[in-house]
Amino acid sequence: MEKLDIQKLIFLALFLGLTILLLVIFSPFFSTLLWSLLFYILINPVYQRCLKWISPKARGYTIYQNILAAIFALLVITLIILPLFFILQGAFKQTFQLLHVLEGFVKRSAKGLSFRPDDALVHTIREITFNAVDLSKIDLPKTIITFLRQSTDFLFRFSTQMVRNVTNFFITLLFMVFTLFFLLLDGKYLLSLFMRAVPLNKELLLVFVNRFKETTRHLVTGYFLVALYQATAAGILFYLFHVPAFLLLALLILFFAFIPMIGAAGIWIPVAVVKFLSGDTSGALLMAALCTFFVSTVDNFLRPLILQDRIKIHPLLIFFSILGALQYFGFQGIILGPMILIFFFAALDIFLEQYQIHHEKDLSGKEP
């Protein structure tokens, strides 16, 4: 018996060692696998519906299945990843232009940004801060210009690095196409293999996987797609009203859409104020009215219409999960943070359900 236990422990140690080694081997492709898994969860239901158009017993079904999987994988890359890449590229160019415009504005307004010791604002700030802050001793225009130039240098270095990594980007896209293709073909088999390998109750594990997939789809459609709509609508309005760096501002709205109580208004309201102060009164008021209706107000009924109480994760938790994951995982944190949050709540729901079942049995006295 002891010999058998030792053999089991040795085999378990060998299995854990091989698992760790396998994770190390796959670690360079973690980002590719993560995004491919997300797209697989989103498009697999549509792919499965298209597969039903032909009977599995029909001649050429395997060829049809392969062609359909290839089309879906290529469409994801063509319609989502490549446009996003060019949008980000345009946003970087507009960022340089915006920083240049801001630097010129600060230079022209240098007198208005300088304070004298006898100014009322200087005196008020002194009283509030107990003489800790003296605006008259701060060269505000120089400080702002230095910050803007440092930001420009950082963006220049970052964009240069991006250009150098263009080849790696397209290689990653190629890997993603292959990964998504094989996930569509063999996703069910890989899931069954995973469930056999995990030492948990299979029914509970299946419920957990299904709940995770459903919650991920609802999260993307109810939050990410609504945020994407708001960013697109705001970007179009900014472009029509000749707002500089409209792509960059639209991307900021995509991020601000997850901030409770503030949302997209945290970007378009300051833009409208700046436009108003620049002298374009009618344009600023009209743009503010259109943004209020087509960007902010639509969010109030579009998201509840899509979700319909299907997901009970507070937007504040999603926002902080993205922020925290960005800090630890980089760009992958945009999706990794919410996915970890979904994992947690899916596991918590199953745990509470199981506890409730056992608790009811305890009360009935039938089973401990």
pLDDT at residue 344 in the model: 84
Q: Tell me: the pLDDT tens digits for 311-347?
A: 667 777 877 888 888 787 776 677 778 878 877 887 7
pTM of the model: 0.66
pLDDT at residue 2 in the model: 59
pLDDT at residue 368 in the model: 41
Distances 109 to 85, 106, 144, 244 between C-alpha atoms, Å: 36, 5, 12, 19
Are the C-beta atoms of residues 68 and 50 closer than 8 Å to each other? Answer: yes
Give me the DSSP letters along 203-267: HHHHHHHHHHHHHHHHHIIIIIHHHHHHHHHHHHHHHHTT-TTHHHHHHHHHHHTTSTTTTTHHH
pLDDT at residue 196 in the model: 77
Query: What are the φ and ψ backbone dihedral angles of 208, each rounded to 5 degrees?
Result: -60, -45
10-residue stretch averages of pLDDT, the chain, 368 residues long: 69 83 83 82 86 79 86 83 74 76 73 71 76 72 77 68 66 83 86 74 76 77 81 91 85 80 85 83 91 83 64 73 79 76 79 61 42
